Amino acid sequence: KEASFDSTGDTLQRASSLRQELISNPLIKNYQEISGKVSTLDSLLSQAEKSGNKSLGTLDQAIITTFNKITDPNSVVRESEYARTPEGGSLISRFEGNVQKLQEGGAGLTPELRRQLVSDAKAIADGIGQNYNSILSSYEQTAGRYQVDPIDVLGPLKKHSPFSGSQQSATVPSKGSAP
């Protein structure tokens, strides 16, 4: 049941209070950071794929560091974490990466491993995005119960749309088509 409130000042106070609570939520902050880092990884991957056979040492370093910050946003990426990231690829990929590393320097990421790191980062962001969307929905409903326009609470925050496509809704078959 909705509460009954009187003045415009009370409404603004409730909206402000809910908004402060929402933007202070660690899961909201975490999602915003990770979402930005995934966009950064997309840009870095695109740049790496455009660079041809040029040395990719600094791009690889940025990809590894950004990926590791996604997996543990509050940590400093240490040398051991940096070194361990390329080891997550297949044996062939690691061999190719080590050959590249010897020839050109850098971290020795193969194109396949770069794409895999970005794909994995998107999957992580999609999982966190589900929680983020639940929180936004909860605040949207709470705003309604407090007779506050949800836009005054959510502000510019938008629902998460999947990066990886793994959470796309099932399609409904059209009339006359096989299920």
* Local confidence band at 119 (pLDDT 50, 70, 90 cut-offs): very high
pLDDT(61) > 80: yes
Confidence of residue 111 (pLDDT cuts 50, 70, 90): confident
Mean pLDDT of 165-179: 35
Exposed e or buried b per residue across 56-92, where buried means at least 16 C-beta atoms within 10 angstroms of its C-beta: bbebbbbbbbbbbbbeeeeeebeeebeeebbeebeee
| 117 CB-near residues (< 8 Å, 6+ apart) | 41, 63, 64, 67, 85, 109
Greater confidence (123 vs 90) lies with 123
Which residues have C-beta within 8 Å of that of residue 49, sequence separation ≥ 6?
111
Contact 166, 172 (CB under 8 A): no
Q: Rounded to the nearest 5 degrees, what angle is found at the Cα of 37, between the Cα atoms of 89 and 52?
A: 55
Cα torsion angle, 167, 81, 31, 44, sign:
negative
To the nearest whole percent, how much of the chain has pLDDT over 90? 49
Please give the Cα distance from 33 to 30 (Å, whole number): 5
Confidence of residue 121 (pLDDT cuts 50, 70, 90): very high
Mean pLDDT score, 6-31: 91
Query: Is residue 128 predicted with pLDDT exceeding 90?
Result: yes
User: Please, what is the average pLDDT of the chain?
Assistant: 78
Under the banding of pLDDT at 50, 70 and 90, the label for residue 91 is very low
The per-residue pLDDT for 2 is 53
